[in-house]
Amino acid sequence: MAEDSKKYFRLQIMTPERIFFDGQADFVEMTTSEGEIGIYRNHVPTTCILMPGPLRIYDGDQEKTAAVHAGFVEILQDSVRVLAEIAEWPEEIDLNRAEEARIRAERRLKGDDPDANLARAEIALRRALTRLEVAGK
């Protein structure tokens, strides 16, 4: 058992509104500006930019998935701290609202409006798709 405890690290996920998660994990994966990243204990210390996407927490044989939307990740050898703009568990996601946001973002991206902020529409689309994926649709 002592050997098994050496594979765990502390994972904290915080948003401006709450401490979303504070516990242990043996592996976590998320999307950063550099792509998908998986983290085990004793990872090289790093700081990354968090992008909208699913965040998966593994604790032994249990897996939890959340939707996270932008922020920063601090990785140390024995801890990972995620500072996210938004973090949601699947049961907190309103599927109808996420689907409507997806439709609006796709319309903005396909539209002819020269004043449309395409970067903002792309982020809105990614957030909506993340919510739909995490909520299981």
Say if pTM beats, i.e. exceeds, 0.75: yes
Which residues of the chain form CATH 2.60.15.10?
Answer: 2-90
Contact in structure between 59 and 26 (CB atoms under 8 Å):
yes
What architecture is the 2-90 domain classified under in CATH? Sandwich (2.60)
Q: How confident is the model at residue 1 (pLDDT cuts 50, 70, 90)?
A: very low
In CATH terms, the fold of domain 94-134 is 1.20.5
Residues in the chain: 137
The residue type found at 88 is E
pLDDT in tens, 95-115: 999 999 999 899 888 876 666
The four Cα atoms 113, 119, 120, 122 give a dihedral, to 10 degrees, of 100
- Across the range 3-28, mean pLDDT stands at 91
CB atoms within 10 A of CB 59: 15
Extract the runs of DSSP E, i.e. beta strands, from 53-93: 53-59, 62-75, 79-88
pLDDT in tens, 27-55: 999 999 999 999 999 999 999 999 999 99
CA distance linking residue 13 with residue 103, whole number of Å: 29
Which residues of the chain form CATH 1.20.5.440?
Answer: 94-134
CA distance linking residue 35 with residue 6, whole number of Å: 27
